[in-house]
Amino acid sequence: MNLQSGTYYWPTTLPDAPSYPAIQEDTECDVAIIGGGSSAAQCAYYFAERELKTVVLEKGKIGAGSTSTNTAIIQYSGERMFTSLINTFGEKYIAKHLKLLKQAIDDIETASRRVEMDFEFRRRDTLYSASCPEDVERLRLEYEFIKNHGMEIEFWSKEKIEAHYPFSREAAIYSYRDGELNPYKFTHALFQNAAKQGVMVYEHSEMNGHHYDGDLQRMIITTKNGYKVKARYVIFAAGYENMDIRKEKQASFVSTYTVTTQPVADFSTWHNRTLLWETARPYIYIRTTADNRVIIGGLDENTMYPDDRDSKLIHKTSLLLEEFNRRFPDIPVESAYSCAAFYGGMVDGLPIIGKYDEFPNSYFLLAYGDNGAVYSQLLSKIITQEIAEGYSPDLAHYLQDRPLLS
């Protein structure tokens, strides 16, 4: 799958990234993780704490796929409002989902203290604004649901927004204690931590075959460099490339665009350097980085053709910078990196753990959506618990055949 194109900021922040050998022999293990991005790293992080022999197979270099284009805005709210999800799943179901997302963010913060490498996790507040007057009421209903389930948020009026920002909106939800991180360093930090605890991480070890041996009760993974991995369990955590292994009918894709600016000298007009996004579709989202750059993303296009996606990159770059200047006319910005990438979500609005009959003892980690890093933290924890302990009470919540309201 041709996932992305352009220039990428995140890998420049870790020019001497840790590297790992290619697999050199046949191996037996309890768990094989397929992939080398953030989802696979989060799985490896959790399995490093379990007494299970774990092997990671990455076809190229760690963090070289979609991780390099991930904007890594860490929030519990997402593109689909919780009040909209209630119509599909019910309030009790979505209240539990919200609670699990909050815990996943806390778990990311815990990981930031446990690993050696600083992956630049910072707590940030979020301003989620109404893009037009017609969106104010549904934004208020969203606020009431989130507030009623224990989150630290406020509903801001037009006057309060104008008092804190150089732009105006009719209303907004102001959320406390969301976050941001560097996804490239995050991925490397978790793999480095896992490798030091005995997880075997292999780069340049592409899977080119898989089958289940009923007599051995093992999944047999073959690699392009001629080796076999016999695993009790397999986790397919290859991001969007999971679709090349087994398509999930609920997954849908669009093209999205991102600009990372040169460092900015003065953020004094940007209240708390909050994460910014809005109710418009397609929407704009904005964050800052540890070295004082701005990341502006969005303006999604409904195309799955790489050439069509890439042809729009220069124009989209200009539009994204213009959108930022409309909000912050006193903060001059200049593009340093810009990229186009495919972006996936799920039709019903929740991430999926895929368990399919044709893949015995296997899990597909499909953390697709605008909260991918948070979803991955949540799903990898559930899968780890299911394998290591034999049961996770939260697994059924995210299976591909989870119950919907009739």
And the tokens for 321? 């910078």
Rounded average pLDDT over 370-386 = 96
Q: What percent of the chain shows pLDDT beyond 90?
A: 86
pLDDT at residue 406, as a whole number? 42
And the tokens for 389? 């302990």
Confidence of residue 405 (pLDDT cuts 50, 70, 90): low
pLDDT at residue 60, as a whole number? 96
Is the distance from CB of 298 to CB of 320 less than 8 angstroms?
A: yes
- Token look-up 């909000």 returns 327
pLDDT > 50? residue 240:
yes
Query: Going by C-beta distance under 8 Å and a sequence separation of 6 or more, which residues neighbour residue 84?
Result: 349
Cα 250 from chain centroid? 17
Is the distance from CB of 255 to CB of 63 less than 8 angstroms?
A: no
Number of H helices, E strands in the chain: 10, 18
Is the distance from CB of 57 to CB of 207 less than 8 angstroms?
A: yes
Q: The whole model's pTM is what?
A: 0.95
pLDDT at residue 255, as a whole number? 87
Q: pLDDT per residue over 31-56, tens digit each?
A: 999 999 999 999 999 999 999 999 99
- Token look-up 């895929």 returns 354
Average pLDDT over the chain, rounded to an integer? 95
Rounded average pLDDT over 258-281 = 96
Q: What percent of the chain shows pLDDT beyond 70?
A: 99
